[in-house]
Structure 1
Amino acid sequence: MQVKHVMTPDPQTLPLDATLYEAARVMRDRGIGDVLVTYAGRLCGVVTDRDIVVRAVAESRDTALTPLGDVCTAELTTVRPDDDTGKAARLMSEQAVRRLPVVDDEQRPLGIVCIGDLATADGQPGPLTEISKAPPNN
């Protein structure tokens, strides 16, 4: 199966100079845990809810003034929509990440695939599949 069949399309993106406060509000309002960071429409980073807590709040940074570029993860592992899900799973394991941005040849974000997407893709029952299908606990 290809990544494009299991990814979440049209991921939430914010520009590099958007603030942590803006990202946190988007995450809350959409019930998501990450935002892809872009510069001139190209992927340049990812910021997670955990990044905001650990790299900003715990360091007493002002979330209304701190740009995403100051705390986002910039060294990313990505996949293409036509890559197979086995490759995505292998990369997640090798890189110890739970999500992979899906990009085109020009590094424009097309989607995001997370460990839960891969767990539900094969249709096999199991605890991760059930957890992944559960609604968010906002």
Structure 2
Amino acid sequence: MAQYVRDLMTANPVTLAPDTPVRQAAQAMRDQGIGDVLVVDGDQVRGIVTDRDIVVRGLADREDLSGCSLADVCSDELITATPDEDVDTAVTRMREKAVRRIPVVEGGRAVGVFSLGDAAIEQDSLSGLADISAARSNT
């Protein structure tokens, strides 16, 4: 029986505006024990920012992050899924585009985030990725 993205996604994602300071996003990630926030303009998803994006696109390129916003570091060529999409289809698309997390969107609005870790926990609970993904945050 097929599994759907809605069954494995993390619902109620943290969403922030494009002009949000990177520091605020990092604090939200720390406080929520997550590795990503969705960038939204009104109700429309415009991008995703991961903790890695902040390091690679923010810290690595700037001496001072005080003027750096999410628009400066987000991945804006979005790969998305819908809640009713088959998990295997979403994972295949993620592999093709080499992304680990994608916004789950319904009617243009963010309803969740789906990660390879979510899939690993469900589909191969003995894998290293599943163990790491299921572990409590170390922050």
TM-score by length of 2: 0.92
Q: Which letter does structure 2 place at the counterpart of 1:40?
A: G
8 Å Cα contact 2:18/2:69 also seen in 1 = yes
Corresponding position: 1:103 with 2:105: yes
* Structure 1: 4+ residue segments shifted above 3 A: none
Q: Which letter does structure 2 place at the counterpart of 1:32?
A: I
Match of 1:58 among 53, 57, 60: 60
Unaligned runs of 5+ in 1: none
In the other structure, the counterpart of 1:12 is: 14
Corresponding position: 1:29 with 2:31: yes
8 Å Cα contact 2:38/2:49 also seen in 1 = yes
Unaligned runs of 5+ in 2: none
In the other structure, the counterpart of 2:75 is: 73
- SS of the residue 1:116 aligns to: helix
Measure the CA separation in 2 of the matches of 1:124 and 1:28.
25
Measure the CA separation in 2 of the matches of 1:46 and 1:133.
22
- Identity of matched residues, %: 45
Measure the CA separation in 1 of the matches of 2:74 and 2:67.
14
Measure the CA separation in 2 of the matches of 1:61 and 1:11.
30
Q: Which letter does structure 2 place at the counterpart of 1:108?
A: R
Question: What is the CA deviation profile of residues 67-110 of structure 1, one whole-angstrom value per residue up to 9, with x for unaligned ones?
Answer: 211221110100000001101110111110101110012x1100
Q: Which moved more, 1:127-136 or 1:42-51?
A: 127-136
Q: Which moved more, 1:37-46 or 1:49-58?
A: 49-58
Corresponding position: 1:47 with 2:49: yes
Count of matched residue pairs? 137
Measure the CA separation in 2 of the matches of 1:16 and 1:131.
30
Aligned-residue Cα RMSD (Å) equals 1.4
Change (3 A) 1:103 1:22: same
